[in-house]
Structure 1
Amino acid sequence: MKPTPRHPHPQATSGLVIKEGYFDENGCMFLTGRPKEMINKGGESLSPVEVDNVLLAHEKISKAVSFAVPDEVYGEDIGVAIVVADGKSLTEPELINWLKDKVTEVKVSKRIWFVDTIPKTATGKLQRLAVAKTMLETGSKVDSRATSETGDVLEDLRQMWSEVLRIPAAEIKDTDKFSSLSGDS
């Protein structure tokens, strides 16, 4: 027997909202996320899948994943990891302004990481919780295709490392790793 994609009595489920999805007027069920991945921002349950879909509509974004990050005021907030499309550049303020036109204020992330890749399982599923853990542990927020307010991410990073590590910026090479310069988390 082949499963039916519709509920046998669409009128019984029409408009019914469930915590991680909903039934449409035809009785079709749409899942909007896994319970453990939902973001609880100030008591409002937000779907990371919904945020992902909005981000993926941006012409300069090739991959995106959203996830919960701790927040002192709201309990949780939205964090996003973005892979910028090849040959494109995107700034955090530019993305935030774009998002404000697409979603309600509560869904606008102010914790954005620009990354080279987003890990997936062997079956191609996003590892949302693993990405969140990595972003929060590393604190890394830029990659070589991201831009900064000065326009030179490497120079900004060099200046930041110079201040933190108390070594002259001129001694920091583009290929140096923070840990090899005696940096520690």
Structure 2
Amino acid sequence: MGDLAAGTRGAEVHPAWAEALDPSRPVIHVSEGTLGRDRGSLVGRTVEALADEPMQIVVGGRHWAERLPDSVIAAEWVPQDLLFPVTDLFVTNVGYGGMMAALSHGVPVLAVPPSTEKWVGAGNMVNSGPGLRLQVKEAAPGVMKRRVGTLLTDPTFRAAARRVAHAMDRAGGAERAAELCETIARP
């Protein structure tokens, strides 16, 4: 299906912090989903892992991190359709919408699923090549830092993410999915 929000908003929704992103430094988008139910704080672990790296970290959604450094951009709502085109890596608890949006833009994914159903979705993503999956109990800052480094420096992940994006585009996106659903629902 891809990025369901793409092209649905005007330029007036473009946040000021997005204009300030430095194109010479990698952008890492981290999200625990809209509701932020990961009490193990994926955001906190990721920020701790990458705080000393020359990266820009954009945190979206509600999260359980106690404090974030001033260098981290944090917003309860992040227009991902505007952020993903300039994002180098998406770190996620595997919310379906966010992961599909990232992949539709050819962005590699580090998936840290907190539950069984999200583990399966992350496995499907890993099997198609654009990212890595990490168990929550293994997501210590040092491990996360190494996985992020791998995803940013190994071009096979970006290439696989782009292949997935092209496949999504060829499949017809949200419009085609809606048509198929309507066809199936007709008596």
Instruction: Choose between structure 1 and 2: higher helix proportion.
Output: 2
Greater RCO, CA 8 A, separation 6+: 2
* TM beyond 0.5: no
Pair member with larger Rg? 1
TM-score of the two chains, using structure 1 as the length reference: 0.24
Instruction: Choose between structure 1 and 2: higher strand proportion.
Output: 1
